[in-house]
Amino acid sequence: MAELDQLRTRVRGFLAQEIATGGFSPHCDPWLIGFDRAFSLRLGAAGLLGLMLPAHYGGGGGSAADRLVVSEELLAAGAPVTAHWFAERQFAPSILRHGTCEQKDEWLPRVIRGEVCISVGLSEPDAGSDLAAVRTKAERADGGWFISGTKIWTSGAHLADAIVVLARTGGQKHEGLSQFIVRLPNNDVSIRGINMISGVRHFNEVHFESTFVPDADVLGEIGQGWKQAMEELAYERVGPERYLSTLPLLQELILGLGKNPESSAALGEVLADIRTFRTINQRVIEHLDSGNTAAIDIPLLKTIGTNFEQSTVLTALALANDPLRTSAITAKAKELLSEAQYQAPSFTIRGGTNEVLRGIVSKGLLR
């Protein structure tokens, strides 16, 4: 416990320094829309990335609890962590578990330095919730594979160093899927930007036309892609993102709220919920780390979390429009509020929709 407290203090020190030197401006949902490679590099240089990766590669050799502390502090501050987020959260653990020695040597030290930006290539135009319907195919070639097909909604592909592509190498449905690391930018990959409803470019349509991937860039085993992708998704579905994505906004709205506003109960409710979800999240992550998670805990956590995450936007609106405010909301609060409103619908969609997750939960309940 004391060590985790020390770590928390260290991260807070780093962030205080960043804020003092104007290193970043806070965002809502900062792991999705806070892209800043320079920030990720500074974080790596401060030794705050890859705390749960082995020391051999430059990591902290710690546990998921260490990473949780760092993640919490970064998200609570609204720090721009998108550039390294997917790489550190799901790509590195997957490389560590399934990668070759060469892949580990190449990628892990770079992830830990904050140099790597990874995109997740799962969804396709005709494979959303029904992910096993992916049609992108990989065909055997001399010394590697040719990949053809289209991925869509790929966050940050236009900025990434590589995209991990789930493609069909044979078989039906969940069988016969495999993962490939496709390096970007790449002459044989075309990337078309898709603006979000906010007008901001975020995700992409990524097109592969006989894109060659050497055997050295196959991730894990051929035919095990589904299992590996689900493991990676588990890392996305747990975590402190849900209870922290709007915290920078709520904090900014407290300025000028006064001591006895109409919305004090709404604020109390948010505080109650965050403390509660934080406990549940910690427990589930501990279990995930020790490998004995109940199958339904992860989807349960995500649906609870994302519904809460959306409700915080309504709370924010109540705080912003409180008739008893002692002063008007700041320009920063306005900016964060619109960011939160734009992002909110996606909370319950990305990483598996709540309907799909509830389907998984109910299967687990009914035996």
Partner 1 sequence: MSAMDWPFTLERRALADSIQQMCSDADALTLMRDAGIPWIGIDEAFGGSGGNLADAATAIRSIALQAHNAPIAETTVAGSALAQCGMQVPSAILAPAFAAESTLVINNPLGNPTLTGTIQEVPGADCAEFVVVPVDTWLCLVDTADVTLAMHDNLAHEHRSSVIFTETPVRALAKLPNNLAHLDLYAQLAFARAVQLSGALIAIRELSIEFAQTREQFGQPISRLQVISHYLAELAELALVGEGAIATALEVPTTLNFAIAKSVTSRAARESSRIAHQIHGAMGMSQEYALGQFTTRMWSWIEDAGRPEFWNATIGRTFLNQPHPDLWLSITDGIEGERT
Ligand X SMILES: Cc1cc2nc3c(=O)[nH]c(=O)nc-3n(C[C@H](O)[C@H](O)[C@H](O)COP(=O)(O)OP(=O)(O)OC[C@H]3O[C@@H](n4cnc5c(N)ncnc54)[C@H](O)[C@@H]3O)c2cc1C
Residues belonging to the active site: 236
Comparing C-alpha atoms, which of 63, 45, 313, 280 is closest to residue 71?
63
Residue 82 makes contact with ligand X by CB under 6 A = no
Choose one: 5-13, 61-69, 120-128, 257-265; the region binding ligand X (CB under 6 A): 120-128
Q: Give me the least distance between CB of 265 and partner 1, in Å please.
A: 4
Residue 126 makes contact with ligand X by CB under 6 A = no
Q: Give the SS3 label for residue 354.
A: helix
**For ligand X, the closer CB: 129 or 276:** 129
Residue 153 makes contact with ligand X by CB under 6 A = yes
Q: Give me the least distance between CB of 297 and ligand X, in Å please.
A: 20
Residues near partner 1 (CB under 8 A), total: 51
Structure tokens at 310: 């959306």
The secondary structure of 198-249 as a DSSP string is TS-EEEEEEEEEEEEEEGGGEES-TT-HHHHHHHHHHHHHSSTHHHHTTHHH
What residues does 208 pair with on adjacent strands? 149, 189
Distances (CA, A) of 239 to 149, 159, 307: 31, 24, 15
Indicate the burial class of 4 (C-beta count within 10 angstroms; 0-12, 13-18, 19 or more): middle
**Which residue in the set 43, 247, 320, 344 belongs to the binding site for partner 1 (CB under 8 A)?**
247
End-to-end, the C-alpha distance of the chain in Å comes to: 39
166 residue type, one letter: L
**For ligand X, the closer CB: 158 or 350:** 350
Choose one: 151-159, 275-283, 291-299, 300-308; the region binding ligand X (CB under 6 A): 151-159
Binding mask 301-330 toward partner 1 (x if CB under 8 A, else -) reads x-xx--------------------------
Residue 251 makes contact with partner 1 by CB under 8 A = yes
125 residue type, one letter: P
Q: Give the SS3 label for residue 146.
A: strand
Residues near ligand X (CB under 6 A), total: 19
Comparing C-alpha atoms, which of 113, 50, 35 is closest to residue 81?
35
260 binds, among ligand X, partner 1, none (CB under 5 to 8 A by kind): partner 1
Q: Give me the least distance between CB of 263 and partner 1, in Å please.
A: 8
What's the helix, strand, coil split of the chain in %, to 5?
50, 15, 35
Q: Give me the least distance between CB of 154 and ligand X, in Å please.
A: 5
Indicate the burial class of 138 (C-beta count within 10 angstroms; 0-12, 13-18, 19 or more): buried
Q: Give me the least distance between CB of 129 and ligand X, in Å please.
A: 3
**Sign (positive or negative) of CA dihedral 311, 313, 319, 321:** negative
Residue 344 makes contact with ligand X by CB under 6 A = no
Residue 332 makes contact with ligand X by CB under 6 A = no
Q: Give me the least distance between CB of 302 and partner 1, in Å please.
A: 10
Please report, as residue ranges, which positions from 259 to 288 form the binding site for partner 1 (by CB under 8 A).
Answer: 259-261, 263-269, 271-280, 283-284, 286-287
Q: Which residue is nearest to ligand X (CB)?
A: 128
340 binds, among partner 1, ligand X, none (CB under 5 to 8 A by kind): none
Residue 8 makes contact with partner 1 by CB under 8 A = yes
What residues does 204 pair with on adjacent strands? 193
Distances (CA, A) of 71 to 49, 89, 151, 263, 348: 9, 10, 28, 29, 20
- The residues binding partner 1 (CB under 8 A) are 8, 72, 76-77, 247, 250-251, 254, 257-261, 263-269, 271-280, 283-284, 286-287, 293-294, 296-297, 300-301, 303-304, 355, 357-359, 361-363, 365-366
- The residues binding ligand X (CB under 6 A) are 119-123, 128-129, 153-155, 203, 346, 349-350, 352-353, 355-356, 359
